[in-house]
Amino acid sequence: MTSEISLAGKCIIVTGASRGIGEEIAVAASRAGASVVLASRRQEGLDVVAERIAEAGGKARAVACHVGKPAEVAALFAAAREAFGPVHGLVNNAATNPYFGPLLGIEEAAFDKTIEVNLKGPMTAIQAFVEQPAPPGAAVVNIASIAGIQAAPLQGVYGMTKAALISMTKTLAHELGPAGIRVNAIAPGLVETRFAATIVESDELRDHVVSRTALGRHAQPDEIAGAAVYLLSEAASYVTGQTIVIDGGTITS
């Protein structure tokens, strides 16, 4: 084992990689030496990120994939293996939050979509990752949220899925540990992404969140990427079943 944070020689899949946190994790993984497979629903956005990585001297393959569809996830892993060989690391970043409002006001379609992408997606991807089979030193990083470890007013179902993702992380760490597969999560606070635009672009909502952080600001996507690279690397060889909170020191109670 090593204390060096390096992904040299590894193939890493990052879902939700067309922008925001996923894009920055993919770019950081490439800088650390990984060959990166980018996944998201829209090919155009992925192609832009793949070009960014290539221009910096990295290797990337862009594959359009809806993580809630098992057949598309299987095709994603097949494309990754064809391009770069066995997949050493999986970052489950793809997520959705189609409803913003009181928990009991959500419609069934929005509820089902949130569950499909935020829970079924990571589960399906992890199953495919394990079945390939996963090579020695394999690691999964689930991108959760502080909404999964505290009350999430106006984002109730999203928070529920992130709490379940943290639970999934802990359970799979125990079940997959004997096979040498590590499973961890990252729980970001408010990050300036298109995904969080409803909060970031509202002075009232943003200021409420920021006022409760020790650092007095919200995060940028690249501030989440370093923790993901660490968890994917051999430097984290004895870290599993953990959730790293990156929230600027948010007061939660």
Output the pLDDT for position 230: 98
- In this prediction, residue 2 carries a pLDDT of 63
pLDDT at 56: 97
Active-site choice (99, 158, 230, 238): 158
Identify the structural domains of the chain with CATH numbers, from first to last. 11-246 (3.40.50.720)
Asked if 185 and 143 touch (Cβ cutoff 8 Å), the reply is yes
Q: DSSP string spanning 85-118?
A: SS--EEEE--------B-GGG--HHHHHHHHIII
- Partners of residue 89 on adjacent β-strands: 12, 139
Tens of pLDDT, residue by residue over 69-121, are: 999 999 999 999 999 999 999 999 999 999 999 999 999 999 999 999 999 99
3-state SS string for 165-218:
HHHHHHHHHHHHHHHCCEEEEEEECCECCCCCHHHHCCHHHHHHHHCCECCCCC
Note whether 93 and 116 are within 8 A (CB). no
Q: Which residues of the chain have pLDDT under 70?
A: 1-2, 193-204, 207, 211, 253
What's 250's DSSP letter?
B
The structure's pTM equals 0.93
Task: Report the alpha-carbon distance of residue 146 to residue 174 in Å, rounded.
Answer: 22
Total count of residues recorded for the chain: 253
Percent helix, strand and coil across the chain, each rounded to 5? 45, 15, 35
The mean predicted confidence, pLDDT, of the chain is 92
99 counts as catalytic: no
